[in-house]
Structure 1
Amino acid sequence: MRKFLGKRAGASALSLLVLIVLVFFLSRLTGDPTALYLPVDASLESREQFREINGLNDPLLVQFGRYAWDVLHLDFGQSIRKAQPALEVVLQAFTWTLTLAALTMALVTVAAIIVGSIAAFQVGKTFDRVATFVSLIGASAPDFWIAIVAIVLFSVNLGWLPTSGTGSVWHWVLPVSVLFIRPFGLILQVVRGSMISALSSAYVKTARAKGVRARPIIFIHALRNAMLPVITVIGDQAAGMLNGAVVVETIFGFPGVGKLMIDSILQRDFTVVLAAIMVTAIAIFLMNLLIDIAYAVLDPRIRY
Structure 2
Amino acid sequence: MLSYVIRRLFLLLPMLIGVSIAVFLVVHLIPGDPARMAAGPDASEEDIAQIRTNYGLDKPLVTQYGIYLGKLLQGDLGNSFRTLAPVTEGIARTFPATLELTIVGMAIAVLLGVPLGIYSALHPRGGADRAVTSVAVLGISTPGFFLGLILMYVFSLKLGWLPPTGRGSLANLVLPAVTLGLPYVATFARLTRSTMLDVLSEDFIRTARAKGLSWRKVTYRHALQNASIPIVTVLGLDFGRLLGGAVIVESVFAWPGMGRFMVEAIMARDIYVVQGTILVFAAAVVIVNLLVDLLYGFLDPRITYA
Q: Under a length normalisation based on structure 1, what TM-score does the superposition of the two structures give?
A: 0.92
| Residue 274 to residue 77, structure 1, CA distance change in 2 (3 Å) | same
Distance (whole Å) between structure 2 residues aligned to residue 197 and residue 96 of structure 1: 39
Alignment correspondent of 2:26: 26
Identify the range of structure 1 (5-14 vs 122-131) with the bigger mean alpha-carbon deviation.
5-14
Distance (whole Å) between structure 1 residues aligned to residue 99 and residue 217 of structure 2: 34
Letter in 1 for 2:27: S
Alignment correspondent of 1:67: 68
Deviations 1:35-76 (A, max 9, x none): 232234533332332222222333432221110011112211
Distance (whole Å) between structure 1 residues aligned to residue 77 and residue 14 of structure 2: 20
Deviations 1:157-202 (A, max 9, x none): 2222211012322211211111121111001110110011111111
Alignment correspondent of 2:216: 215
Distance (whole Å) between structure 1 residues aligned to residue 218 and residue 130 of structure 2: 21
| Residue 254 to residue 221, structure 1, CA distance change in 2 (3 Å) | same
Deviation at 1:6, TM superposition (A): 5.3
Trace 1:16-55 onto structure 2 (pairs within 5 A): 16-30=16-30, 31-55=32-56
Alignment correspondent of 1:249: 250
Distance (whole Å) between structure 1 residues aligned to residue 268 and residue 60 of structure 2: 27
Distance (whole Å) between structure 2 residues aligned to residue 130 and residue 33 of structure 1: 51
Alignment correspondent of 1:122: 123
Contact 2:147 2:179 in 1 (8 A): yes
Between the two proteins, the alignment pairs up a number of residues equal to 304
Alignment correspondent of 1:260: 261
Distance (whole Å) between structure 2 residues aligned to residue 28 and residue 263 of structure 1: 17
Distance (whole Å) between structure 2 residues aligned to residue 255 and residue 86 of structure 1: 15
Alignment correspondent of 1:158: 159
Deviation at 1:94, TM superposition (A): 1.1
Deviation at 1:238, TM superposition (A): 1.3
Distance (whole Å) between structure 1 residues aligned to residue 177 and residue 41 of structure 2: 42
Gaps of 5+ in 1: none
| Residue 266 to residue 32, structure 1, CA distance change in 2 (3 Å) | closer
| RMSD of Structure 2 on Structure 1 (CA) | 2.0
Distance (whole Å) between structure 1 residues aligned to residue 236 and residue 136 of structure 2: 18
Distance (whole Å) between structure 2 residues aligned to residue 227 and residue 117 of structure 1: 11
Gaps of 5+ in 2: none
Letter in 2 for 1:24: F
Deviation at 1:106, TM superposition (A): 1.9
Alignment correspondent of 2:83: 82
Distance (whole Å) between structure 2 residues aligned to residue 253 and residue 42 of structure 1: 30
Trace 1:153-192 onto structure 2 (pairs within 5 A): 153-192=154-193
Alignment correspondent of 1:292: 293
Is 1:201 aligned to residue 202 of structure 2? yes
Deviation at 1:288, TM superposition (A): 1.3
Distance (whole Å) between structure 1 residues aligned to residue 129 and residue 143 of structure 2: 24
Distance (whole Å) between structure 1 residues aligned to residue 6 and residue 167 of structure 2: 40
Secondary structure of the structure 2 residue equivalent to 1:255: coil
Letter in 2 for 1:269: D
Deviation at 1:5, TM superposition (A): 4.2
